[in-house]
A and B are shown apart, each in its own frame.
Chain A
Amino acid sequence: MSFVLVQVIVGGLLLGAVYALFSSGLTLVWGMMNIVNFAHGDFVMLGMYVAYVVYTLMGGGPILGAPLATLVLATLGVIVYFGLIRDIMKGPMLAQILGTFGLALLLRYSVFWWFGANFLSMPQDIVGGTFAVAGLRIEASRLLAGVVALLVTFGLHLLLTRTSLGSKMLAVAEDATAAQLMGIRPDTMQAIAWAIAAGATGLAGALIANFFYIVPTVGETLAIVAFVTVSLGGFGSVPGALVAGLLIGVIESLSGYLIGAVYKDIVVYVLFLFFLWFRPQGLMGKM
């Protein structure tokens, strides 16, 4: 195997980990509440802007920016849940689509209005630049995002499978009325789920901001990948999203390098459709 190919695969794995990172929040609300959050990409965008503001106002890097973005977005998640989601959940599917889509536009153009349409960027060396391992070039900022992706996936998985809070959240997801009869407050559980999901998304944004450009419309670019990652991984399966993200990242990189970048989406989506044909529940989803 040629050396360049190894670099392509390593690049693909790091890219895939990032895909997984910004998909974890989506998979949580989608899988647990059956809500398709069209504002997801814009949550990522907000996380990026929080990190950028932290950097420009306080000169802080991701050590400060990432926790703050998590906190701000988690708060926003709770507000969005009580202000919007709780009500539209009772409505038809169309209300959810339009509601979250409207929220996406509101967030996008609020940022637009406040920050303007210009492209922003963090300095290249905000997380230690790029280093070489055995001739392979690895960007520290991407590696950081990849490591955090693994930690977040692991953490969320533990939370859902090993804690009583996780069991309560899953119970509400299964049957809110039955859960209520068991003394669980669906409202509280779902608000917590939104806080966690939005917080993880904000964290993802803050880490992606270190190596990507920042612009109000960046959510549009990222959201589609998130949706594919979540469907491929299996709706609601956090480890599934990680595996799916890594798969998509490597397939994109390989096909982009070997066949040509304009065709990489074709390869990804053909494989995606083909896979769903045999396993509509996704990699690790339950029917």
Chain B
Amino acid sequence: MTLKHVTGLLCAAAMSLALAAGARAEDKVVKIGVIMPMSGGTASIGAHAKAAIEVAMDIINNAHPELGNLPLAKNAGLAGLGGAKVEAIFADNQGNPATGQNQALRLITEDKVAAVFGAYQSGITLTSSAIAEKYGIPYLNSESVAANLTERGFKWFFRTTPIATDFAKIYVDFLADLKAQGGKTDNVAVVHDNTEYGTSVANTISAAFKEKGQPIALDVAYPVNATDLQGQVLQLKDKKPDVIIMISYTSDAILFAKTMQSLDYKPPVLLADDAGYSDPSFIKAVGKISQGVFNRSSWAVGPSGSPSAIIADMYKKKSGEEMDDTVGRQMQGFFVLVDAIDRAGSTDPAKVQAALKATDLKPDQLMMGYKGVKFDDKGQNVLASGLIIQLQDGENYVAVWPKANAAKAPMLPYKGW
């Protein structure tokens, strides 16, 4: 046996020791797969989501007694699992449903994650959650609003966000309220892209208005990531609806704002369905020419020193961006998932599933303005709720409806620039 062989053997021995030690340390780590658009047209959302999840992990893995009743904040790690730390494994869905599905498969079969969290776009949540369902792994979605996601009879799928049907009702009531105050809101147009999110939300909204006896007057669909939207804006300018409801991701939201200004078109009321309009880069890019746009939200910063304000500060330090509704819902969803794992006291999928089903969080245990978190048989949070916000000064959204939660009165008509 030469020296080389001996060294080789020693190395192998050292490596196996290191591996064994690694495995022991890993017992104390709970892995959660996080599927987000880290590249592609919605990559800005993925970058924000990553920062938000990292802040959430900081809160979970370290002691943050200043955060009051927020579960998991008080002590470091998960008390139910002997102080285990949470580790997020980020996977890029590339804005593509097939890629999202492959990533779910990889996270479950190779990384052996305890649960999957994702995946922003409704169309990708649809495909990736089907894999989790097949393997019997809990899947928590915090921000996809297409109503059909919880209509599939899935047993492992849970969703914390308010969904399209909730918001469609809010839009109907909000516009009825504006009308009662003398606004004209009879003629409603829906503008949406051709993705799962765009088409399904548009359908849900149309159905809600039809039920109220006020069918949608105009439905304008366009291909996602459009190179040009002049035709759509001219169509709207031609038909003159009283209200436009926009269902768009960031790229198209920005192009719409620019095109509307160049063609000098302002609808009396512009109401956006979150997504692109909540992206801070939308406000930076075209906020000044989108003054007065309404949007939906479940996020309010709250008074300084409150848990939500502290979290907003932590997020801003991490990402350099203001906290917005989308990342807020993502952090909230992540907390709900990890809280269930903590209460399950185990990463056994069936136990986590049971704990998720038993979730009953009160408003003071949440960072978002939901009435609570409690799942129905379909896995939908029945206590999710939201409000209407408005970009009055082109820089910051303020809550304007319902009156009980409003910081300011709604400003009409849409000002634009």
Contact = CB atoms under 8 A, between A and B. Distances in A.
Contacts of B39: 109, 112, 117, 217
B221 A213 contact: no
Interface in B268-291: 279-282, 284-286, 289
A121 B290 CA distance: 14
Nearest to B191: A261
Contacts of B229: 261
Contact of A215 (B44, B235, B262, B286): B44
A86 interface: no
Given A211-B258, A221-B251, A119 B228 contact: no
B2 interface: no
A239 interface: no
A254 to B, nearest CB: 8
Contacts of B264: 130, 137
B220 interface: yes
Contacts of B223: 261-262, 264-265
Contacts of B230: 8, 11-12, 15, 253, 256
Interface in B205-231: 220-223, 225-231
Contacts of A119: 44, 250-251, 254, 279, 281-282, 284-285
Given A117-B46, A119-B254, A225 B227 contact: yes
A213 B251 contact: yes
Contacts of A112: 39, 43
A262 B221 contact: yes
A276 B235 CA distance: 31
Interface string A210-244: 01110111001110010000000000000000000
Given A120-B285, A262-B223, A8 B262 contact: no
B182 to A, nearest CB: 30
Contacts of B226: 261
B262 A120 contact: no
B17 to A, nearest CB: 37
Interface in B73-90: none
Given A116-B47, A261-B226, A121 B235 contact: no
A184 to B, nearest CB: 39
Contacts of A221: 41, 225, 227, 251
B258 A256 contact: no
A4 B40 CA distance: 34
B254 A121 contact: yes
Interface in B296-323: none
Interface of B is mostly: helix
A117 B42 CA distance: 8
B285 A130 contact: no
B187 interface: no
Per DSSP, chain A at the interface is helix
A253 B228 contact: yes
B324 to A, nearest CB: 12
A265 B221 CA distance: 13
Interface string A155-188: 0000000000000000000000000000000000
A278 to B, nearest CB: 27
Nearest to B231: A256
A261 B286 CA distance: 23
Contacts of B225: 220-221
B263 interface: yes
A119 B229 CA distance: 18
Nearest to A138: B262
Contact of B286 (A4, A121, A139, A252): A121
Contact of B40 (A120, A139, A217, A264): A217
A124 B289 CA distance: 9
B232 interface: yes
Contacts of B258: 121, 124, 211-213
A102 interface: no
B372 to A, nearest CB: 33
Contacts of B285: 119-121, 213
A219 B279 CA distance: 21
Contacts of B151: none
B194 interface: yes
Given A112-B39, A124-B289, A217-B40, A261 B279 contact: no
A118 B227 contact: no
A82 interface: no
A15 B43 contact: no
Contacts of A257: 231, 234-235
Contacts of B261: 124, 130
Interface in A72-130: 109, 112, 116-121, 124, 130
18 contacts: A8-B230, A11-B230, A12-B230, A15-B227, A117-B46, A124-B289, A130-B264, A211-B258, A213-B254, A217-B43, A221-B225, A222-B227, A249-B228, A254-B231, A260-B221, A261-B221, A261-B222, A265-B223
Interface of A: 4, 7-8, 11-12, 15, 109, 112, 116-121, 124, 130, 137, 139, 142, 211-213, 215-217, 220-222, 225, 249, 252-254, 256-257, 260-262, 264-265
Instruction: Report the 10 A-B pairs with minimum CB-CB distance, sorted nearest first.
Output: A256-B231, A121-B285, A117-B43, A261-B222, A257-B231, A118-B281, A119-B281, A11-B230, A117-B44, A139-B262
